[in-house]
Copies of this chain bind each other. A is one copy, B any other.
Amino acid sequence: MKGNVIVGQSGGPTAVINSSLAGVYRTAIDRGAKKVYGMRYGIQGLLDEQYLDLSKHIKNDLDVEILKRTPSAFLGTCRYKLPDIHENQEIYVRLFEILEKLNIECFIYIGGNDSMDTIKKLSDYAILTGKKQKFVGVPKTIDNDLALTDHTPGFGSAAKYIATSTKEVIRDGLGFSYKKKQVTIIEIMGRNAGWLTGASALSRGEDCDGPDLIYLPEIAFDIEKFMARVRKLLEKKDVVVVAVSEGIRTADGKYVSELSATIDYVDAFGHKQLTGTASYLANLVSQDIGCKARSVEFSTLQRSAAHLASRVDVNEAFMVGGAAVKAADEGDTGKMVVIDRVSDDPYQSATGIYDVHKIANDEKLVPREWITKDGTYVTEEFIDYVWPLIQGDYPCVMVGGIPRHLYMSTGAPRGRRGNKEERERETGDYLQ
């Protein structure tokens, strides 16, 4: 490689998106890149010329390892969709000026569907205008809803967190069950795709029954049938645990979370906020059945719990990052690296590469045949598919009892002591 590499992160963070960043960095250096730049906050930041020299932040091999264990997007992400080329050519001109100024040869973008759209548009523009830069995408999303790749980096770690936490929540409930019926509703991320919610089934094993019911957004949710199921289960057992996707909808397309009056606002990205599905259902159970009912939301932890990352996932994320640089360096453009499952047992995977034009915003949902006929659980095929992806640990480097992360130095002194703000607080002068 004669020129430089630039890499960005986009969309929702995951526990291993920085492992992909580390893979990009490592392979770029190994292949002779002069400089590896990082876009701050993805393409949106780059348009404002917000970028940095990664070697200033990843100073040695230990930093690479810490980066692989750091959740969320080290470079920061954005949710920014490039306009179509014919709509606003000026923005492309500006971007390519920046790329040329930085002598960029390979442009790597780590993200979900929207990011692959960015790769497509930029590579199309480069080909149309005779630019030399190569554009390759690296898949990333906890939701596992990208087409063509067997699964997405980020999904395995989220699934491992969900399976483990579901098991711990089930056990927590069992401790309390004497002469008391109790229902726990666990709410799991996934607006349209039920991969994460289905992963709660992996808590099942010799030492745990797993959830009693699992409701994915792929199947219309029937509140009356749900209540009847819970009632029936409570006749047989004292502790009932239900996993629901935040995105479950009734047959008329209404989100269950919308049925509750409390949560009716739209977030900064224009998405309707989907919280409250589990608490709505728990209230319903408590009122109608009269037993104790509680809700648990795994919330943002399911995408940022690097302390429980899957080794398979961390390694694959690193691998796809490196493969993207290799592909771009060898002349590929307008492509996304994918993960191919080479073998199920023993599990083996390898990278492949696909034309991003073929990927184009398809959401990969859980196939109907991987959901039980009655729509309240996932099948063994689903479990067999997810199982290899949660295997193995990637232990954190613990400092002071908690995981160490790689951070961007701001120059300001930080740490347990000597913080000026803190001293001001203690003297009562703070912010007065």
Q: Mark A264-292, 1 if CB is under 8 A from B, else 0.
A: 01011000000100010001001000011
Contacts of A71 in B (CB 8 A): 168, 171-172
In Å, the complex CA distance between A243 and B279 comes to 21
**Which one, B262, B377, B398, contacts A425 given CB within 8 A?**
B377
- The reply to whether the CB of A127 lies closer than 8 angstroms to some CB of chain B is no
Contacts of A96 in B (CB 8 A): none
A403 to B, closest residue via Cβ: B164
**Which one, B44, B165, B405, contacts A208 given CB within 8 A?**
B405
Contacts of A296 in B (CB 8 A): 299-301
A232 to B, closest residue via Cβ: B431
A399 to B, closest residue via Cβ: B205
- The reply to whether the CB of A6 lies closer than 8 angstroms to some CB of chain B is no
In Å, the complex CA distance between A265 and B285 comes to 13
- The reply to whether the CB of A175 lies closer than 8 angstroms to some CB of chain B is yes
B307, A308: Cβ atoms under 8 Å?
yes
- The reply to whether the CB of A129 lies closer than 8 angstroms to some CB of chain B is no
- The reply to whether the CB of A310 lies closer than 8 angstroms to some CB of chain B is yes
In Å, the complex CA distance between A373 and B425 comes to 7
A201 to chain B, nearest CB (A): 9
B300, A172: Cβ atoms under 8 Å?
yes
- The reply to whether the CB of A55 lies closer than 8 angstroms to some CB of chain B is no
Contacts of A376 in B (CB 8 A): 425, 430
In Å, the complex CA distance between A422 and B72 comes to 37
Contacts of A383 in B (CB 8 A): 416
Size category of the A interface is 35 or more
In Å, the complex CA distance between A266 and B306 comes to 36
Please state the number of chain copies in the assembly: 2
In Å, the complex CA distance between A40 and B177 comes to 10
- The reply to whether the CB of A379 lies closer than 8 angstroms to some CB of chain B is yes
A10 to chain B, nearest CB (A): 10
Chain A, range 383-400, C-beta contacts under 8 Å to B:
383, 387, 390-393, 395, 398-400
In Å, the complex CA distance between A180 and B176 comes to 43
A163, B426: Cβ atoms under 8 Å?
no
Interface-side segment among A73-81, A190-198, A251-259, A350-358: A73-81
A315 to chain B, nearest CB (A): 14
In Å, the complex CA distance between A203 and B267 comes to 27
A55 to chain B, nearest CB (A): 19
B268, A291: Cβ atoms under 8 Å?
yes
In Å, the complex CA distance between A291 and B268 comes to 7
Contacts of A72 in B (CB 8 A): 168, 171-175
- The reply to whether the CB of A128 lies closer than 8 angstroms to some CB of chain B is no
A76, B279: Cβ atoms under 8 Å?
no
In Å, the complex CA distance between A300 and B297 comes to 10
A229, B431: Cβ atoms under 8 Å?
yes
In Å, the complex CA distance between A422 and B171 comes to 20
Contacts of A303 in B (CB 8 A): 172
B307, A168: Cβ atoms under 8 Å?
yes
B171, A76: Cβ atoms under 8 Å?
no
**Which one, B163, B204, B306, contacts A415 given CB within 8 A?**
B204
B304, A171: Cβ atoms under 8 Å?
yes
**Which one, B164, B206, B419, B425, contacts A407 given CB within 8 A?**
B206
Contacts of A395 in B (CB 8 A): 395
In Å, the complex CA distance between A176 and B10 comes to 9
A396 to chain B, nearest CB (A): 9
In Å, the complex CA distance between A74 and B173 comes to 11
Q: Mark A201-235, 1 if CB is under 8 A from B, else 0.
A: 01111111100000000000000000001001000
User: A: which residues have CB within 8 A of B?
Assistant: 9, 13, 40-42, 44-45, 50, 70-74, 76-78, 160, 163-165, 167-169, 171-180, 182, 202-209, 229, 232, 260-262, 265, 267-268, 275, 279, 283, 286, 291-292, 294-297, 299-301, 303-308, 310, 372-374, 376-377, 379-380, 383, 387, 390-393, 395, 398-407, 414-417, 419, 422, 425-428, 430-431
Apart from A13-B175, A44-B178, A72-B171, what are 9 other A-B pairs with CB-CB below 8 Å?
A41-B177, A76-B174, A168-B306, A205-B416, A265-B286, A294-B300, A373-B425, A374-B425, A380-B422
